[in-house]
Amino acid sequence: MYPSSFQDDMTSATPSKLPFQAEVAQLLHLVTHSLYSNKEIFLRELISNASDACDKLRFEAINDSALYEDQPELSVHVSFDEKARTLTIRDNGIGMSRQEAIDHLGTIAKSGTKDFMSRLTGDQKADAQLIGQFGVGFYSGFIVADKIVVESRRAGLPADQGVRWTSTGAGDFEVEDIARAERGTSVILHLREDAGEYLNAWKLKSVIGKYSDHISLPILMEKEEWKEGENDQPGGMVKTGEWEAVNKASALWTRPKKDITPEQYIEFYKTISHDFEAPLAWSHNRVEGSTEYTQLLFIPAKAPMDLWNRERGSGVKLYVKRVFIMDDAEALLPSYLRFVKGVIDSADLPLNVSRELLQESRDVKAIREGSTKRVLSMLEDLARQEKEGESEEDKAKFGKFYAEFGAVLKEGLGEDFGNRERLAKLLRFASSTTDTVTVSLADYKARMKEGQEAIYYITADTLAAAKNSPQLEIFRKKGIEVLLMTDRVDEWALNYMQEFDGTPMQSVAKGSVDLGSLQDEAEKKAAEEAAESFKPLLEKLKEALKDKAEDVRVTTRLVDSPACLVVKDGGMSTQLARMLKQAGQPVPEVKPVLEVNAEHPLVKKLEGSAHFDDLANILFDQALLAEGGLPADPAAYVRRVNALLA
């Protein structure tokens, strides 16, 4: 992480000057240029970090109670010194060793750091949200401070192994060993000239009440009382030396719902998610029965950057009897709901529960099933509001959710058989009659043409490719709506949904097109006659394309295009094969079927042509291009086209 020349200094008692990780230096530049539109956020972030440190101590002490030393009561202290212009946030949590201070405060310890920095746009509001999502709130202290000193000692280490970390938010920081009797961490902010308002007890209590009232630990501040002036000196508030809690110090999810305001729910969400936007919806319930637990679950408004990292786990924190156990308890919700944030507090699980035990516990399975149903109910409520909402804001919520999380929700079709029907009703698509992703399967069914026997869809890489696909020509001519599916997950997900509400799902690019009663007898007869008269040419085409096409046949689906590619029913589409290949997955050889339009001038030109093989290959490659693919030999394709043009 750092050059070896620095490593030698890290064990020295003398201060060591070390450079920030490049990404942190860039981040600090943004922060110190007023990145946060709301400065007081810094206090929420630092108190949240202090609370997390106490939670981590409580968790580690389950197996080693000696870590509590002589301070079993956990708390956060907030104090200020007007003369020194310092504000201090102190906790008696897990603390840091010297190396941990270097690692945690000098780097962004996240696997997605590069992605994080690449997403910084220069838009202050957008970048502030990224910083929150990435959990680097410590650096928000530089919004109000021109210097930050962190003093810490890790629980279990001797008093002479404390550490002091100092930085002015420029390109480097200093680290030195100190003696520190108390475990835990003190963050000392040397406030800027324009941040004097945070040297005021009333202001600090106001900010704590607004953002951190739900923190389950007591947040303590020194009491003040009025003292009359003497000898013509003005009176003022003086500190008494006594400390009092300035928050309710009870976990928000343990309070009755009627006592919690929407604003308190929103601030709690922002604290646990490090998100700057309010959630779209939340659900707070106490579940009783064979398994007892409390759930407080939130649907975010924005997707995190690592949403498609299926290894990231969910955003649900697990507590047992109000004792924090772990972040991202992935066993509590299925992977396709990994965007959900919140807290689950179990009354039945053991305090020393491990991730392995979570996978096997019957109680956890009951919590998982109950929480999944609760999330789906929230989404169904949002979907109902789409049509029945009282305000435009309510009506827009499900659309916002689906734009951010619709693709990941589709993973549930293959992962959650028990809820597949509920999930299918929540899906939305664009269609050949609308570009907006607003068409539900129920909407589609309600406007199917009389005699239509299937729900037709097409998958493609982009909306434009889907909308302009040759496979849609006969459907457009007949006025039959086709769903346009352009998410990468669609091809995989649709393998697990063969029908909806009793109506089969049919890809227009798989198998033969059978429109049943929607195709009149004259059309059927003409297609049969064309296929019969075209037989000799089909045989010749099959021979010319034997290395590329599994079969060649006369089409019934094309109107204006000369040819298109389809696959047999149940076969892997060429689009899915391309996706798997791009992902480095082994892919079986996929040979599509070439369908040709016997009435098209280019196809008629084949008969008797001296360039039959070249024309046949061009027809195939153009059909491949039309669906978003590339010829296996682009140079050969160009050469053939140039030869014909010449």
CATH number of the domain residue 501 falls in: 3.40.50.11260
Window from 16-20, 147-151, 441-445, 610-614 with minimum mean pLDDT: 16-20
Q: Which of 471, 493, 517 is a domain's end point? A: 517
DSSP E strands in 417-521: the ranges are 429-431, 434-439, 455-459, 483-485, 499-500, 503-507
**Is residue 593 a part of any domain in this protein?**
yes
306 by Cβ neighbours in 10 Å (0-12 / 13-18 / 19+) ranks as middle
**Is residue 290 a part of any domain in this protein?**
yes
- The pLDDT value recorded for residue 8 is 40
Over the stretch 382-394, which tens digit does the pLDDT of each residue have? 999 988 888 899 8
Q: Are residues 558 and 506 in the same domain?
A: no
Residues β-bridged to residue 318: 326, 344
Over the stretch 457-510, which tens digit does the pLDDT of each residue have? 998 888 888 888 888 988 888 889 999 998 988 988 888 998 999 999 988 888
Domain count, the chain: 4
Q: Are residues 592 and 556 in the same domain?
A: yes
**Is residue 437 a part of any domain in this protein?**
yes
**Is residue 401 a part of any domain in this protein?**
no
DSSP E strands in 111-213: the ranges are 145-153, 162-167, 172-178, 184-191
What average pLDDT does this structure show over 206-234?
A: 83
Q: Are residues 614 and 511 in the same domain?
A: no
CATH of the domain at 213: 3.30.565.10
Residue (of 535, 433, 444, 412) closest to 478 by Cα position: 433
Q: Are residues 579 and 628 in the same domain?
A: yes
Non-local (6+) Cβ contacts of 203 within 8 A are 197
Q: Are residues 180 and 288 in the same domain?
A: no
Q: Which of 388, 407, 439 is a domain's end point? A: 388
Integer-rounded Cα Rg, in Å, for the chain is 32
**Is residue 328 a part of any domain in this protein?**
yes
Element containing residue 104 per DSSP (H, E): helix 98-106
- The pLDDT value recorded for residue 435 is 83
Token pair, residue 340, equals: 């959900």
Q: Are residues 116 and 151 in the same domain?
A: yes
Q: Are residues 525 and 508 in the same domain?
A: no
Q: Which of 215, 248, 281 is a domain's end point? A: 248
**What is the Cα–Cα distance from 341 to 300, expressed in whole angstroms?**
7
Q: Are residues 176 and 155 in the same domain?
A: yes
- The pLDDT value recorded for residue 30 is 65
**Is residue 135 a part of any domain in this protein?**
yes
Q: Are residues 52 and 74 in the same domain?
A: yes
C-beta separation of 478 from 508 below 8 A: no
Count of C-beta atoms within a 10 Å radius of residue 196 = 13
Q: 543 pLDDT exceeds 80?
A: yes
Element containing residue 4 per DSSP (H, E): helix 4-7
- The pLDDT value recorded for residue 129 is 46
**483: domain range?**
422-517
**Is residue 281 a part of any domain in this protein?**
yes
**Is residue 409 a part of any domain in this protein?**
no
Token pair, residue 434, equals: 């609308």
Q: Are residues 301 and 233 in the same domain?
A: no
Q: Which residue has the tokens 């993973």?
A: 411
Token pair, residue 608, equals: 């008797």
Element containing residue 343 per DSSP (H, E): strand 341-346
Q: Are residues 283 and 240 in the same domain?
A: no
